[in-house]
């Protein structure tokens, strides 16, 4: 693999003006996430305009199953991202190469294990979601096709995790841009023109993931990583693999459990009828877009903090978190205003069904409060993760999710004539609990004692 000299490494985040560096590093993450969300959004737009609302429900529910896979992998690969960032900040390039090489082995093996596991489990998962009978067959087809593409998802996310740790947020944007074009074209061709429904959007998604991975590998081979790295570095080390998984497993568990909670909530709402199910499916897509700034800053903050903690620059890491938080709160407040004033405007883009639009408007109106609160939770949690405190991040999320959000959703849904506005309020209530937990942990100062590369 071609290597750039160390002096040409322009991705270190430990020096220079902080806020401009944070914004420049975050924008590519935001654009990448925007395009990735466009995958699912185009799926729903095409299905919503060319198929029945039962197919909308099927794709929305099937997407949640695949989100379980994708977010688990994102969490798991965070271990590699944080370690690479910390060692890079400490300028320990030899160990950076070792972490990268071990990541190939670790995540390659995991990809095949996950494919086999979900091939076996996905019918049971769909049943647990209480998907409406008229949407069951389409959901099964969509999920099965996407599961076969898991090795491609793992490969792509491994490459992106490595690049994130190296401080490169621009390359993944280029990869996903091409894939997005493929996905949109495939959706319009297979599900729009040939009316293949859920199978068409699933095939388009898998093809897009495969192209992303291939482009990523070709670019890495041509450009290199900016540090000495060769094929000899791709070898297994039990100690390094353990360190990757020690950080990554809590984040993977956190992702899978939080997404399981979303499935439980989906199951609760699906049991209320197909209109509720479709409205929540559309609402979740809108909310996904609204939360992109928060999730993008969260991703960049974890890397920013990892590199600076590795370099021993604790105060710079803390300030980066604060600046990101203030920016996210401002953006979240804008979504809050739009949702309160024009609740049905965005749902109208996804469905022609008036009842679904109105019900979805209630859902995002309640959720808009969470757009502000999660700005605080996401940024603080990411700071702790970048410090190597991934176990705390996991426990905080699971506490607020399973002790607050899921129970509140269930009990509200049992109320006669409960609306999606009332059910949606469970999210901001849970986030408020998360803020309290994070602030208490921040006050203890224990986040400063995380692993520092080079020590």
Tens of each residue's pLDDT in the chain, 455 residues: 444 434 345 567 888 889 999 999 999 989 988 887 776 667 777 777 766 667 777 787 787 788 778 888 888 898 899 999 999 988 888 889 899 989 988 898 888 898 999 888 888 888 877 777 788 888 888 899 999 989 988 888 889 899 888 988 888 888 888 888 888 888 888 877 787 878 888 888 888 888 888 888 888 878 777 788 877 888 888 888 898 999 999 998 888 887 777 777 877 887 777 888 888 888 887 888 888 899 899 989 999 999 999 988 999 999 999 999 999 999 999 999 998 999 888 888 877 788 888 888 888 998 899 999 999 999 999 999 999 899 999 999 999 988 998 898 888 888 878 888 888 888 899 999 999 999 999 998 888 875 544 44
Task: Name the residue ranges covered by the structural domains of the chain.
Answer: 19-449
Directed axis angle between helix 354-386 and helix 390-400, to 10°?
A: 150
Length of the chain in terms of residues written: 455
- pLDDT on residue 341: 92
First to last CA, the chain: 29
Return d(Cα 198, Cα 62) in angstroms, integer: 9
Torsion of CA 431, 432, 437, 443, to 10 degrees: 120
* CB-based contact 232:96 (threshold 8 Å): no
- pLDDT on residue 40: 63
Return d(Cα 43, Cα 197) in angstroms, integer: 9
Return d(Cα 209, Cα 294) in angstroms, integer: 24
Phi-psi region of 15 (alpha: psi -120 to 50; beta: other; left: phi over 0): beta
Task: Tell me the chain's radius of gyration from C-alpha atoms.
Answer: 21
* CB-based contact 307:12 (threshold 8 Å): yes
* Residue 354 CB neighbour total at 10 angstroms: 11
Burial grade of 188 (CB within 10 A; 0-12, 13-18, 19 or more): middle
Nearest to 139 by CA among 281, 23, 329, 236: 281
Residue with tokens 């094929």: 231
Return d(Cα 182, Cα 178) in angstroms, integer: 7
Burial grade of 50 (CB within 10 A; 0-12, 13-18, 19 or more): middle
Nearest to 290 by CA among 33, 66, 46: 33
* CB-based contact 67:90 (threshold 8 Å): no
* CB-based contact 244:83 (threshold 8 Å): yes
- pLDDT on residue 4: 42
- pLDDT on residue 275: 80
* Residue 183 CB neighbour total at 10 angstroms: 27
Backbone angles phi, psi at 361, to 5 degrees: -60, -40
Cα 302 from chain centroid (whole Å): 13
Contacts 24+ apart (CB under 8 A), 443-452: 446/389, 447/383, 447/384, 447/387, 447/389, 447/392, 448/314, 448/387, 450/309, 450/387, 450/388, 450/389, 451/86, 451/388, 452/86, 452/90, 452/309, 452/310, 452/312
């Amino acid at each position: 693999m071609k290597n750039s000299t160390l002096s040409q490494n322009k991705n270190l985040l430990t020096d220079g003006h902080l806020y401009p560096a944070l914004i420049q590093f975050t924008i590519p993450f935001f654009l990448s996430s925007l395009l990735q969300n466009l995958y699912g959004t185009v799926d729903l737009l095409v299905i919503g305009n060319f198929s029945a609302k039962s197919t909308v429900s099927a794709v929305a529910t099937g997407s949640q199953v695949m989100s379980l896979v994708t977010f688990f992998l994102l969490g798991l690969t965070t271990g590699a991202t944080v370690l690479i960032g910390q060692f890079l900040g400490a300028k320990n390039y030899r160990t950076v190469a070792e972490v990268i090489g071990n990541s190939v082995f670790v995540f390659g093996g995991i990809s095949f294990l996950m494919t086999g596991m979900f091939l076996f489990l996905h019918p049971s998962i769909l049943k647990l979601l209480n998907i409406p009978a008229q949407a069951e067959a389409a959901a099964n087809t969509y999920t099965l096709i996407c599961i076969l593409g898991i090795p491609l998802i793992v490969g792509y996310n491994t490459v992106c995790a490595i690049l994130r740790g190296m401080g490169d947020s621009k390359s993944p944007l280029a990869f996903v841009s091409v894939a997005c074009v493929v996905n949109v074209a495939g959706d319009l061709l297979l599900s729009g023109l040939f009316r293949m429904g859920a199978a068409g959007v699933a095939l388009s998604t898998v093809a897009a993931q495969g192209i992303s991975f291939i482009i990523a590998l070709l670019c890495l081979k041509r450009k290199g990583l900016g540090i000495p790295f060769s094929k000899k570095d791709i070898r297994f080390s039990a100690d390094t693999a353990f360190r990757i998984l020690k950080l990554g497993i809590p984040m993977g568990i956190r992702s899978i459990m939080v997404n399981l909670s979303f499935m439980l909530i989906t199951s609760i709402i699906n049991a209320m009828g197909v209109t509720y199910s479709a409205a929540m499916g559309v609402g979740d897509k809108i909310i996904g877009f609204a939360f992109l700034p928060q999730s993008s800053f969260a991703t960049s903050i974890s890397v920013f903090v990892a590199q600076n903690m590795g370099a021993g620059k604790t105060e710079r890491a803390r300030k980066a978190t604060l600046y990101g938080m203030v920016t996210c709160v401002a953006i979240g407040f804008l979504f809050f205003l739009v949702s309160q004033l024009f609740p049905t405007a965005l749902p109208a883009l996804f469905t022609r069904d008036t009842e679904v639009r109105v019900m979805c408007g209630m859902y995002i109106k309640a959720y808009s409060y969470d757009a502000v609160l999660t700005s605080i939770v996401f940024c603080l949690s990411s700071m702790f993760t970048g410090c190597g405190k991934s176990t705390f991040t996991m426990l905080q999320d699971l506490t607020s999710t399973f002790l607050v959000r899921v129970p509140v959703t269930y009990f509200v849904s049992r109320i006669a004539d409960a609306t999606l506005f009332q059910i949606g309020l469970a999210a901001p209530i849970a986030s408020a609990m998360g803020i309290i937990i994070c602030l208490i942990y921040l006050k203890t100062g224990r986040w400063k004692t995380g692993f520092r590369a080079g020590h």
